[in-house]
């Protein structure tokens, strides 16, 4: 169960990192496009590569990854592992501890 919890946690974090990576890469492509556009001189001949088509940021993909990342994170937060010997005593709200409890005697 602990392995499942850590797998879900790492899957959620990986989706967040992937979404950030997509946006970072798209920002890099946009910056290089703008640099090429600033340095492009059509009268000078073949001074460098042509600017080409402006890249688009993939916002929808990144938002989808972020929204999907919450599901495994919430599921992993719902899995609680209690080590042996650390569990509490069952106590009822009206009757106190049950008769079969070890600590009642």
Q: Between residues 28 and 98, which one has the greater pLDDT?
A: 28
Task: Let me know if 97 is exposed, middle or buried by CB neighbors in 10 A (0-12, 13-18, 19+).
Answer: middle
Choose from 9-18, 39-48, 76-85 the range with maximum mean pLDDT: 9-18
Distances (CA, A) of 56 to 20, 30, 59: 15, 8, 9
18 Cβ contact list (under 8 Å, min separation 6):
65
Residues 104, 83: Cα–Cα separation, whole Å: 22
Average pLDDT of the residues in 12-28 = 95
How far apart, in whole angstroms, are the C-alpha atoms of residue 2 and residue 5? 5
Structure tokens at 38: 């600033």
What is the mean pLDDT of the segment spanning 44-63?
A: 77
23-37, 76-90, 91-105: least confident range: 91-105
H helices present in the chain, as ranges: 2-39, 59-78
Average pLDDT over residues 31-59: 76
Q: Give 46 or 15, the one with higher predicted confidence.
A: 15
Residue listed under structure tokens 């609680």: 80
Residue 104's pLDDT band, with cuts at 50, 70 and 90, is very low
**What letter does residue 92 receive in the DSSP assignment?**
B
Least confident of 1-10, 22-31, 49-58: 49-58
């Amino acid at each position: 169960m602990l392995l499942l919890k850590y797998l879900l946690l790492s899957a959620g974090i990986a989706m967040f990192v992937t979404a950030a990576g997509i946006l970072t890469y798209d920002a890099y492509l946009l910056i290089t496009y703008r640099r090429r556009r600033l340095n492009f001189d059509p009268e000078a001949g073949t001074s460098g590569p042509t600017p080409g088509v402006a890249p688009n940021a993939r916002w929808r993909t990144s938002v989808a990854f972020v929204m999907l990342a919450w599901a495994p994170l919430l599921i992993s937060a719902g899995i609680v592992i209690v080590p042996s010997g650390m569990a509490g005593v069952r106590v009822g709200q009206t009757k106190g501890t049950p008769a079969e409890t070890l600590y009642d005697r």
